[in-house]
Structures are given as C-alpha cells and as structure tokens.
Amino acid sequence: MKLNIEGQLEELKLGIDIFQNELDFNISDEGIKVKVEKVEDAIEVIFSEGQGIIRYTNRNNFFRALGIFIDSLRNKKRFKIIEKPQFEAIGITLDVSRNAVMKPEIVKKLVKKMALMGINTFKLYTEDIYEVHGEPYFGYMRGRYTFQELKEMDDYADVFGIEMIACIQTLGHMEQFLKWDNTKDLRDTSDVLLVDNDKTYEFIEKMIVSATSPLRSKRVHIGMDEADTLGSGTYMRRNGYQDRIQILNRHLKRVLEITRRHNLKPMMWSDMFFQLRSTENKYYDLNVSTAEQSMKDMAKDVQLVYWDYYHSDEDFYHKFIKKHQEMCDMPIFAGGIWTWCGIGVNYGRTFSTTNAALKACKEEGVKEIFATIWGDDGSENNFFYTLLGLQLFAEHGYSRELDNTKLENRIKFCTGIEMKAFADLKYLDEIPGCTPENPESFNPSKYLLWQDILMGLFDKQIDGLDLSQHYEMLELKMRGYKEQYKEDRIIFEVPEKLCAVLKLKGDIGIRIKRAWDKKDLATLKHIVENDLNCLYNNIEELRKTHRNQWMETYKPFGWEVLDIRYGGLLARVESAKQRLSDYLENKIDTIEELEQERLKFPFPNEYENCRLAYCNKYQRIVTTGVF
C-alpha cells in the first residue's frame, strides 16, 4: 500500500517511518493522498473518492488514527470514522519489581503496540529497579535499569507521544532494599522506611532524582501504598506509639518538599488515607469520612490514585470516586488486568471490573486511567498475555460505550491475534467446578502445578473434577494457537506445556491416595512406571519452554527463582517415585504422608461454600513446614 501523506508532519515523521514496516505501507508521491490535520476534540478518519483525511488531537492518537485508516482502507472503499477521546490519559503501570524486568528492546516493542492502541502514558513500577548514585545495593543483582536504558526507552516512547512517568516507592514496599544489613539506619520495619529521620529523606531525594532525571516528564508517582507496619518497628522503639495518620502526614509533607524542590508533579496511591481512618482497617470503607480538613490538606499538593481491581458493582465506583474528588481535584483511576495469580490471566474478572469501573469514570469526569499489570509472587505470568486487557482499556478510552465487535477487530489489528485466543488463557484457572468468569479469582493452575504429590494440600478442593479432560482439550487449543500465530508462539507455548503437565498432575495425588487407601498395588505400580516418568518429562519441557520465554522477554535476573521452583518440583516427583517404589519393593512398611487425612485448604469465610480455592504464595502451596 502506498500513501502520500500531507500536512504538518514534523512531530510525526519518525513514528510514521517506523510504522511503515509494522503496518506494511510505503510513503510515496504516487500513493493515495492523505491529508493530516490537528484538531481540538476528536479523531476523524475519512476516505472518499480516492482520497483520505486523518484528523487527530495529539501526537499519540495520530498513530491510533493511522492504524484505523490503514485497517479500514484494506476492507472498505469508503468510510468515515469518528472517535472522541474520553480521557486525557490512558496508561499502563507495568510491574518490573517482582523479578521480571522487561528488556529495553521489548519495552520498545510494547510501546509500538501502545501507540497503535492509542495508549499515551506509561509507568514502569520500580521499587529498586533503577540505579541510585552511591547506593550499590539498591537493585543489586535484580536487573535494575541504568540511566541510559531509561533515557533510551523514554526517547523511543516520545517518538509516539507517549509520556513515560517515574513510578517508585517512598515509604512501603521497600523490602528488597531494606533486607541488606547496611540499610538499618533507614529501616522502620522490614518493608517500610523510617519516618522523621533525616537520613531517610536524604535517601528519598536521591531516589527521586535518580528515577526522574532520565525522563522528560516532570510527573512522578511516589507510591506510599500498603505501608501497613508504618510506625510499628524502629519508629515505635524510638518515639513510642504515635497516631499513624500524623506519622503519614509528616512524612508526606517532607517528601512533597523534595518534589517541589525539583519542580516535580507528584501522584500517590490513596489507600493509606482510608485504611488508617477505617474502623475495620480496610481500604474500600465507604464509611470513612473525606470531609476532614486534615485529609484535604494532605491531598491538596498531590494527585491521588484510586486503585481498585475488585468490584464489579458500578455503583461502588461512583461512590468511591466521589470520595476521592472531595479530597483531590483530579484523582486518577487505576484498574487491573488480573495477571498476578499465576501463569494464567483471569479475563473474566478483568472484563467485569474494568467495564464497571471505566463506565463510572466516564460519568464522574475522571480524566486519567491506568491499567496495572502486577507480577506478585515471582512474575510467573508473561506480559504479552495481557494485550487483550490493554486493548479493553484503550477501546473504553475512545468510546462512551464499549463496542465488543470493535474490540475484537482492534485486538486483531493491533496484535495480529484474535480476541478468542487471548480470552482462552482464562481457562487455565476457569476449570470444572469454577463459577463462570471466575469472579472469586480462583487459581488452580498455580497450586496444582506446585503442590506436592505426596501431600496434596489442595486435593480436597478438586476431588471428583475431570481435570485431565479439561487440560487435555485446552492443551490442544493452545497448540493450535501456537501453530496459527507462529510469530507470536511465545504467548501460547508455556500455557500449552503447562496443560500437558496439569492433565497428568492435576489429580495424580488423588489417584495415588485412593490407590493407597485401597492397597491397590497394581495401580500404584502403574503410576510409578508410567505416569510419574511422563510427568517428570513434561515438567522439564515446561521448565525449558518457560525459561526460553523469560529470556526472550525479560532480563535474566529473577529467573533463578522459577528455576529453583521447577527444580524443587522435579525433585519431589523423583522422591515420590522413590518412596512408592520402596514401598512396592517392601523396603519400607508404610508411606506416612499417604496415611494423613486430606483436609480442605482453609479459605476466607465469604467463600466457604465455594468448591475451589485461591492461594498465591508458593511457599504456602508446597509445604506446611518451615520454608
């Protein structure tokens, strides 16, 4: 396809040149004439009588408009498409602090997809994943970004009009740095910095300068969420018990003095404002009053980020957004793409919470939204599984009402992959016995992978479910997608190999225990000689495939954690085989682990009638012993 693009193109030229290869078009004087105009309030893409018009409001959504134009031109002889941006900023917050540090070249690949989608803001969530001058243990052996890497990524994002914002922590979530002995002067508790301590603020200033100086943006996210142990460690020993609200107030005041000194515009998570005032010690407490002058005073010089990944009730979002608006003129909303429960993506809950939240945001006049992508418990998930979630946020951002048909078309154009292929990743966890769309966020693919065969801590949850058939069918689906989308096979290979493991391992502990209780030696012998050997090989295939995926996407630091988990899993399969063999050969009289009664894994009371369970801590899954 040849295009002759005319207009004021200085700020667009580099991006257009890059997308010629991505979108398979050429700039030529002999091409279709396309007039480009910058306008105030809408995107317009028009083609009529052999000529085109692209009207855009900012550099970023020009590239969305360009993509829509090219996609439409391939399928239609005439069209007029108008989109009105619903938000000033549609952004991504990508967690690179839970071991998976995305390679700069992969960040650039992501940035191009963001540009096509019309996403214009980007935050890498970096607890200690950036260099701080004079602090060699800050991000030590964790894959931290250098100044040059951050600058290079920012330069590339700027080509497409994408603002890259520093996103750090200045209070809690600092355990990966505070674990070192030489940080004791900065430590209140294992993960919270020591407030009212001059050395702490000298250190925070170094962090803020280091994180923001490689980037163009003067905005900075200073964190401060989930600091549950604030004032309860070294602080209390030195100062006695003090009101934690006042501690937070003083700390925020001093951090804002630093941001003002460097002409920065800060934002922070809002949860501690609510939790510290809640009689139930919870964030989403509608009874917390936001009319207190102290709350407004604390929030007046910082944008509040209301994060919520949990509610599917639109009315709740309306109420909680209003509470934020009482404290802050321009609160930001952060929703979530459910990636943090294991290898799969809970797209059922992602869609239900996002649709409710973003509809409320539009009606309440929220101007900025972010899709957060977290990697809790070692980042077993891969970022590229989340592209459908990003597209969902983007399509909400350019339409008052979400059009699901358009969403399907857009995800296919922006990624080359059909919506159903991404959506089917949810079936790693949405198994028989699970409520449709998995609103409880059960994650059986994680605990069935890592749980011990001889102890079966979750076997009671899945007894009687046909997991073998479920995972065998899903394995075939994933293999089909892998073969269909060869250039993006990285997305489907690990799920395929995981299914190959789970179709054997899902209920193998139940089969072993049942045979043991019946003293069915023939079945035990078959499991030893056949199933466990096959399972061992399948796990090793999964480990190698997962390793290849990791090394292609992320820096090598952090993979050692998953290598150790896989190594432990393989060792326990071998030990189970040996223990059973010893019994079958009369070398031992009993296997004590199999004599133990299987109990249901304890779960919060509100889910007491649910069949399945949620557990996102590897160490809780693999053993009840000291880890």
Residue 608 has pLDDT above 80, yes or no: no
Amino acid found at 284? Y
Task: Give the pLDDT band (50/70/90) at residue 605.
Answer: low
Residue 543 has pLDDT above 90, yes or no: yes
Q: The tokens of 344 are what?
A: 């799969």
Residue 607 is predicted with a pLDDT of: 66
Within 8 A by CB and 6+ apart from 536, the residues are: 570, 573, 574, 577
Please state which of the four CATH numbers 2.30.29.30, 3.20.20.150, 1.20.120.670, 3.40.630.30 is assigned to the domain occupying 429-622.
1.20.120.670
Residue 90 is predicted with a pLDDT of: 98
- Provide the whole-model pTM: 0.96
Domain with CATH 1.20.120.670 in the chain: 429-622
* pLDDT tens by residue, 168-200: 999 999 999 999 999 999 999 999 999 999 999
Find where tokens 């998995």 sit.
Answer: 438
Numbers of helices and strands, H then E, in the chain: 25, 14
Per CATH, the number for 89-424 is 3.20.20.80
- Name the percent of the chain lying above pLDDT 70: 99
Q: What is the DSSP string of 341-361?
A: TSSS--HHHHHHHHHHHHHHH
Neighbours of 613 (CB within 10 A): 20
Task: Give the pLDDT band (50/70/90) at residue 602.
Answer: confident
Sign of CA dihedral 474, 475, 479, 480: negative
Mean pLDDT of 371-397: 98
Q: In degrees, to the nearest 5, what angle opens at C-alpha 385 toward C-alphas 21 and 191?
A: 120
Longest CA–CA separation in the chain, Å? 87
Q: How far apart are CA 483 and CA 477, in angstroms?
A: 10
Task: Give the pLDDT band (50/70/90) at residue 606.
Answer: low
Backbone angles phi, psi at 607, to 5 degrees: -115, 20
Mean pLDDT of 544-560: 98
Domain with CATH 3.30.160.230 in the chain: 2-83
Mean pLDDT of 425-437: 96
Average pLDDT over the chain, rounded to whole?
Answer: 96
| Domain 2-83 fold | Double Stranded RNA Binding Domain (3.30.160)
Within 8 A by CB and 6+ apart from 599, the residues are: 460
Q: How far apart are CA 432 and CA 438, in angstroms?
A: 11
* pLDDT tens by residue, 286-336: 999 987 777 777 777 899 999 999 999 999 999 999 999 999 989 999 999
Q: The tokens of 312 are what?
A: 């599917």
Task: Give the pLDDT band (50/70/90) at residue 611.
Answer: confident
Residue 297 is predicted with a pLDDT of: 77
Q: The tokens of 98 are what?
A: 């839970």
DSSP character for 193?
B
Mean pLDDT of 206-226: 98
Q: Are strands 79-83 and 43-48 parallel, antiparallel or unpaired?
A: antiparallel
Residue 609 has pLDDT above 90, yes or no: no
Q: Are strands 43-48 and 51-56 parallel, antiparallel or unpaired?
A: antiparallel
